[in-house]
């Protein structure tokens, strides 16, 4: 831990060294909620979010906060180790082209619904999942936009890895928006200028139980989404390499709430852009498309509620990056590294390497949370 703030109702423990005013304001709003357990934690990639900072961790007693999970419920990473040790540039370009033609990106979905058997089995009989189920069949196996990506990487273990970052697509957003509106209606007397984006539901209420059911379905759907994309990427690789073989598979989510035991009490741990890091648990921390990613082993630090960062974290907002970064400079940087990248226009600068924090600094700041075990360098990047 780097520092601690003790000016609010509950302490704020920080692993971030460069918090801006707005991120800290959001953390303080959290720290003044009466149902917070022990303290609020800010991971080293923390930056401003909606209601709660991205990179924030908060444990609550008997309540759940939809905006402390976020709109992309279940968003996370999966990483696939392969038996390959080298891919030449020509083959990389072919693989990227095939990924682009196979996996819908951005706001596009599959034209035909995907196999229902690929969906999570426990389907809630509540409002939103039932209402959106057919659309979700078209969203299954699609990448999305923003910071979601597919990367082919070379590890310092000598192996080629494939990494996918995506979430629950429009289904998760519909669930999040519906229950946040419901929470606002239920909390009119409680909400004020500071906490108006942190409306909660009691976990023993009908609405709270239904949100938890639908949230958990979205977490499972997000995993099914990543698995289907990975399966199709592996199919592309198998056609290109006759002796191709997938090895270790790792998956971890970073937008969810879970009932856990911390400091002797059962609490709902909200991780919004934060990864669980129990002792010896394997996790994934990506850099930018011009920086390394890491497979890590959790150290189980209780002060972070056994959590760590979910990535490098933004240092520039999307609009600020588009407005201030130089397209030529960012492209030249990636091309000097030999990375097949996705920066082609001024608009793409929102996801340029220059819009993210230094991943080496982020990793140093959480040396008491995780241990890096494999460093992965990007070879080719696909973004929606």
Cα 182 to chain centroid, rounded? 25
Q: How far apart, in whole angstroms, are the C-alpha atoms of residue 211 and residue 156?
A: 42
Q: With contact defined as beta carbons under 8 Å apart, do 304 and 43 qualify?
A: yes
Cα torsion 236, 237, 242, 245: sign: negative
Residue 148 annotated among the catalytic residues of the structure? no
DSSP-assigned states of every residue in 137-204: HHHTT---STT-EEEEEEETTS-EEEEEEE--HHHHHHHHHHHHHHHHHHTTTT--TTTTT---EETT
Q: How far apart, in whole angstroms, are the C-alpha atoms of residue 36 and residue 269?
A: 10
Q: How far apart, in whole angstroms, are the C-alpha atoms of residue 33 and residue 29?
A: 7
Q: How far apart, in whole angstroms, are the C-alpha atoms of residue 17 and residue 357?
A: 11
Q: What angle do CA 174, 176, 177 make, to 5 degrees?
A: 65
Q: How far apart, in whole angstroms, are the C-alpha atoms of residue 63 and residue 194?
A: 18
Q: What is the DSSP letter of 5?
A: E
Nearest to 278 by CA among 256, 255, 252, 257: 252
Q: With contact defined as beta carbons under 8 Å apart, do 170 and 30 qualify?
A: no
Give the residues across from 3 on adjacent strands.
14
Place of tokens 């209606």: 185
> Where is 6: in which H helix or E strand?
none
Out of 47, 148, 254, 310, the active site residue is 310
> Where is 270: in which H helix or E strand?
strand 265-272
Residues serving a catalytic function are 310
């Amino acid at each position: 831990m780097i520092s601690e703030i003790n000016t609010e109702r509950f302490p704020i423990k920080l692993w971030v060294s460069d918090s801006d005013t707005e991120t800290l304001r959001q953390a303080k709003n959290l720290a003044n909620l009466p149902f917070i357990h022990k303290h609020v934690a800010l991971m080293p990639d923390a930056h401003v979010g909606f209601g709660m900072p991205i990179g924030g961790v908060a444990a609550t007693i008997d309540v759940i906060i939809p905006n402390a999970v976020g709109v992309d419920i279940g968003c996370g990473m999966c990483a696939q180790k392969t038996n390959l040790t080298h891919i030449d540039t020509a083959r990389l370009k072919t693989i990227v082209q095939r990924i682009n033609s196979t996996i819908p990106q951005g706001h596009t979905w599959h034209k035909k619904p995907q196999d229902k058997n690929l969906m999570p089995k426990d389907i809630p009989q509540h409002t939103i999942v039932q209402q959106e189920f057919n659309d979700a069949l078209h969203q299954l196996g699609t990448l999305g936009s923003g910071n979601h990506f597919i990367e082919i990487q070379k590890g310092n273990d000598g192996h080629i890895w494939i990494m996918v970052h995506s979430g629950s697509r429009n289904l998760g957003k519909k669930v999040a928006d519906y229950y946040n509106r419901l929470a606002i209606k239920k909390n009119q007397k409680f909400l004020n200028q500071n906490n108006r984006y942190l409306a909660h539901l009691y976990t023993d209420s009908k609405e709270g139980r239904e949100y938890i059911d639908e949230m958990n379905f979205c977490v499972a759907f997000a995993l099914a989404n990543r698995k289907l994309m990975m399966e199709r990427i592996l199919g592309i690789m198998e056609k290109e390499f006759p002796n191709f073989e997938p090895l270790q598979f790792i998956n971890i989510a970073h937008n969810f709430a879970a009932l856990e035991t911390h400091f002797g009490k059962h609490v709902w741990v909200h991780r919004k852009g934060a990864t669980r890091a129990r002792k010896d648990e394997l996790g994934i921390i990506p850099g930018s498309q011009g920086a390394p990613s890491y497979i890590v082993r959790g150290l189980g630090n209780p002060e972070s509620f056994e959590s760590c960062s979910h990535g490098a974290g933004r240092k520039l907002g999307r609009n600020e990056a588009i407005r201030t970064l130089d397209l030529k400079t960012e492209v030249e940087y990636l091309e000097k590294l030999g990375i097949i990248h996705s920066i082609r226009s001024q608009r793409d600068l929102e996801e340029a390497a220059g819009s993210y924090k230094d991943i080496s600094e982020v990793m140093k700041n959480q040396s008491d949370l995780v241990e890096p075990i494999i460093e992965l360098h990007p070879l080719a990047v696909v973004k929606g």
